[in-house]
Amino acid sequence: MNSIRRPLIAGNWKLFHGGLSATPLAQAVVAISRELDAVDLVLCPPFTALPLVAIACHNSRVQVGGQNLYPKDQGAFTGEVSAPMLRDVGCKWVIVGHSERRQLFGETDVGVREKTVAALAGGLIPIVCVGETLAEREAGKTLQVVERQVRAFLDVLAGHSVAIAYEPVWAIGTGKNAGPAEAEEVHAAIRSWLGDLADRTRILYGGSVKPDNAAALLGCANVDGALVGGASLDAASFGGIARAAQG
Ligand code: 13P
């Protein structure tokens, strides 16, 4: 594996730990990160906790990311947060097009592309999420859906090293994860669509990743890390996944 594809374990805290409880959780992850020099770690708390988490992670190997962004830098867009604002509070990363945004907040492939452009223009590294629903998987459309989602933003990645997260919607928060063979099939397909970017793009798996299934998933040739939801809310579980990535 080349150095760009070092294992990356990102925690998506979703709508949890948006206040003072963010600090001890981030500090505990920083403490664990000291033993893990072969893994890149990113924490994505709610917007309100970003400054606290950035302070807790300052001068550590743990980097910080937003969970979403608005594609304009500033203006009359009540309630939104832009790439420059995320940078200002210490973010290096941003999650784009998470399935919860697509499903609950109406984000489209076109919107995901626009946000990917804005993230890159603002100097953030996007973790762009793709994945099929249960109905799409059962209809045999997994690769077709994921290919459409990837091709919607692929051309804007030229010259950049980003992360793509494959998160099958049916595996998120359900305790069901794609088995290593199921994950690897989709990851290998995504890699094959990337062309020149294949060696410089980390493809993360997300969906019920836990310390006890992490090693098998991370052992797949085309799985370069994980985007972790529930298990990132506990430093010991997140650390267990990160240790599995360290090998
Ligand atoms: P869970 O790990 O809770 O299934 O969530 C996955 C996810 O959505 C990460 O972005």
How far apart, in whole angstroms, are the C-alpha atoms of residue 8 and residue 206?
A: 12
CA nearest ligand 1 atom 2, residue? 229
| pLDDT value of position 2 | 62
Out of 17, 209, 238, give the residue to mutate to test ligand 1, the one with the largest number of ligand atoms within 8 Å of its CB.
209
Q: 160: Cβ–Cβ under 8 A, 6 or more apart, which residues? A: 120, 125, 197
Domains in the chain with CATH codes: 8-246 (3.20.20.70)
Q: Is the CB of 228 under 6 A from ligand 1?
A: yes
Known catalytic residue at 98: yes
If we measure between CA atoms, which residue out of 131, 214, 217 comes closest to residue 172?
A: 131
Name the pLDDT band for 175 (thresholds 50, 70, 90).
confident
| pLDDT value of position 173 | 87
Handedness of CA 147, 153, 156, 162 (dihedral sign): negative
Summary mean pLDDT of the chain: 96
**Looking at the predicted structure, is the pLDDT value of residue 3 above 80?**
no
Average pLDDT over residues 27-34: 98
Q: Is the CB of 180 under 6 A from ligand 1?
A: no
Known catalytic residue at 147: no
How far apart, in whole angstroms, are the C-alpha atoms of residue 7 and residue 10?
A: 10
The pLDDT tens digits for 120-160 are 999 999 999 999 999 999 999 999 999 999 999 999 999 99
Average pLDDT over residues 92-119: 98
Q: Give the CA count within 13 Å in the CB-facing half-sphere of 61.
A: 15
- Predicted TM-score of the model (pTM): 0.98
The pLDDT tens digits for 179-205 are 999 999 999 999 999 999 999 999 999
| pLDDT value of position 101 | 98
| Given 107, 114, 167, 184, the catalytic residue | 167
Burial 165-200 (b: 16+ CB within 10 A, else e): bbbbbbbbeeeebbebebbbebbebbbeebeebeee
